[in-house]
Amino acid sequence: MLLFQALILRPLLTAMIALRALRRNKLRSTLTALGIIIGVASVVAMVAVGNGAQARIESQVSALGQNLLMVFAGNRRSGGVNSGGGSASVLTLADAAALAREIPDVAAASPEVTTTVQAIANGRNWSTTVAGESEDYLKIRDWKLAGGSMFTEREIRGSAKVAVIGSKTAHELFGPLNPIGQTVRLKNIPFVIIGLLASKGAGMGGQDQDDRIIVPFTTAMKRLTGEKYIRLISLQVVSADRMAAAQQQIVSLLRQRHRIPPEHGDDFSILNQKEIADTVGSISGIITMMLGSIAGMSLVVGGIGIMNIMLVSVTERTREIGIRVAIGAQGSDILLQFLIESITLSLLGGLLGVLLGVGISKGISLFADFTPVVSTGSVLLAFGVSFAIGVFFGFYPARKAAALDPIDALRYE
């Protein structure tokens, strides 16, 4: 019973004394806490914004597909300068076929050609991107169909005039009508729409991925682009941990096929989804940290505000301290009282700050195209930091109070 009193009740009662002292100066306490409130709120909101942006970018990266490797013609790393001795940097269908055939870690491959055409259907006219792909493309890009079906390998071999249409394009051309079974004319060639893509939203570069038409790459090359070369090859690797190995095998196979001497650089470049994800993740992590630490500075400023007010409070209440010491309070009792007061002030500020921070995050989500994510970690951290600020910035004033001489304190006017 008395142990309970010593460990819990007495600090609690001391806290009540502190609370009463804070209530007595409502305006002043509020203004003091405001420093912490703003500090904590901005930490919570900034970290939430950072996390939200990070989550959004990461979801865009993972929306690229699963275990995706993209092989582009030309060496992007060397800034577009052609390193091979004049030979054109190109990828061919044979390259794509060789990658799919000879590298066991490659589960699926899709050569890609793209062009922009006027699509005409239903008496309407819409300029859109047409991509020639293989039957595995949707699987590689982890893309679902909202209706109909994807074209088959047979249709690719037969250069069938079939198309799978993006939701945006479908909407522009057909409005609320079901596009499946309809005909769309691309460069005046009629294609039968056999599938409708599920909506995927904006891609990494901000382009609308839903505004496109996918056709067999054979048909696209023959009928629409007339080119022999392909822009890129999308590859799906069997598993995430085989990504690096697969990439290495692809490099050596393509170098061999393109007969690149060892001293020359690659004439192609490979985008590794995992690498992108990691890079994006670490960059946005750094940004989140930076936002958080800038906000953290305002917490320190808030702490200094608390220290200032606590010093004023100790001076103002010198007589009270004198009375308490005169009737037997220990220095440690006085220290605890003022420490609890500053901690209460900062924790209260922390609590209101968290609420405000969550509110700000909710507000941001109303007009930003991503949702800030308030993490439990940042809330706990903000609380922990405001507690620490209360202790740190309250200690000096509290010690000053505890060191007062009773008779001097009693005489203080």
Partner 1 sequence: MSINPNHPQAPPLAQIPVIRLESAAKVYRTGDVEVHAVRHVDLEVQRGEFVAVMGASGSGKSTLMNIVGCLDKPTGGRYLLDGVNVADLSRRHLARLRNHKLGFVFQSFNLLARTTALENVELPMFYSKPLISLRTQRRRAKEALERVGLGDRLGHRPSQLSGGQQQRIAIARAIVNQPELLLADEPTGNLDTRTSIEIMGFFQELNDAGITIVMVTHELDIASYCKRIVVMRDGEVISDTINPDRRLAATERATLDHAEKQAKLA
Residues 311-340 that bind partner 1 (CB under 8 A): 319-320, 322-331, 333
Least Cβ distance, residue 9 to partner 1 (angstroms): 7
In the complex, least distance from residue 315 CB atom to partner 1, rounded to whole angstroms: 16
CB of 312 to partner 1, least distance (A): 17
Question: Which 3 state secondary structure label does DSSP give 347?
Answer: helix
Three-state secondary structure string covering 223-235: HHHCCCCECEEEE
Q: Where are the alpha helices (DSSP H) in 258-375?
A: 273-316, 318-326, 331-367
Binding span for partner 1 by CB under 8 A among 213-221, 228-236, 340-348, 403-411? 403-411
CB of 369 to partner 1, least distance (A): 54
What is residue 241's DSSP assignment? G
Region binding partner 1 by CB under 8 A among candidate stretches 2-10, 127-135, 145-153, 284-292: 2-10
Residue 24 binds to partner 1 (criterion: CB under 8 A): yes
When asked if residue 5 is in the footprint of partner 1 (CB under 8 A), the reply is yes
| Shortest separation between residue 405's beta carbon and partner 1, angstroms | 9
Report the candidate in 165, 131, 129 with the shortest Cα–Cα distance to residue 146.
165
The residue range among 4-12, 252-260, 298-306, 383-391 that interacts with partner 1, by the rule CB under 8 A, is 4-12
Q: Quote the strand ranges of 134-278, DSSP E.
A: 145-148, 162-165, 183-186, 189-197, 212-216, 232-237, 268-272
Cα separation, 288 vs 299, in Å, equals: 17
Smallest distance, Å, CB 3 to partner 1? 9
Shortest separation between residue 390's beta carbon and partner 1, angstroms = 23
2 contacts partner 1 (rule: CB under 8 A): yes
The residue within the footprint of partner 1, chosen from 145, 253, 358, 410 (CB under 8 A), is: 410
Residue 244 three-state SS: helix
* 25 belongs to the binding site for partner 1 (CB under 8 A): no
Q: Residue 31 has what DSSP assignment?
A: H
Stretch in the footprint of partner 1 (CB under 8 A) among 6-14, 90-98, 238-246, 306-314: 6-14
* Angstrom distance (rounded) from CA 95 to CA 75: 16
Rounded to the nearest whole angstrom, what is the least distance from the CB of residue 328 to partner 1 in the complex? 2
C-alpha separations of 120 from 116, 183, 187, 282 in Å: 13, 9, 9, 44
* 44, 349 contact by CB (below 8 A): no
Which amino acid does the sequence have at 204? Answer: M
Residue 407: CB minimum distance to partner 1, A: 5
- The interface mask with partner 1, positions 217-246, x = CB under 8 A, is ------------------------------
Q: Is 8 in the site for partner 1 (CB under 8 A)?
A: no
**Interaction between residue 19 and partner 1 (CB under 8 A):** no
Per CB under 8 A, 13 contacts partner 1: yes
Q: Which residues pair with 233 in a beta bridge?
A: 71, 111
Residue 113, SS3 per DSSP: strand
Binding residues for partner 1, rule CB under 8 A, total: 25
Q: How far is the CA of 79 from the CAs of 319, 332, 336, 395, in angstroms?
A: 75, 68, 65, 58
Which one of residues 10, 154, 222, 228 is an interface residue with partner 1 (CB under 8 A)? 10
Whole-angstrom distance, CA of residue 393 vs CA of residue 63:
48
For helices 26-63 and 331-367, give the axis angle rounded to 10 degrees.
50
Choose one: 5-13, 32-40, 41-49, 214-222; the region binding partner 1 (CB under 8 A). 5-13
Residues 6 or more apart from 206 whose CB is under 8 A from it? none
List of residues contacting partner 1 (CB under 8 A): 1-2, 5-6, 9-10, 13, 20, 24, 319-320, 322-331, 333, 406-407, 410
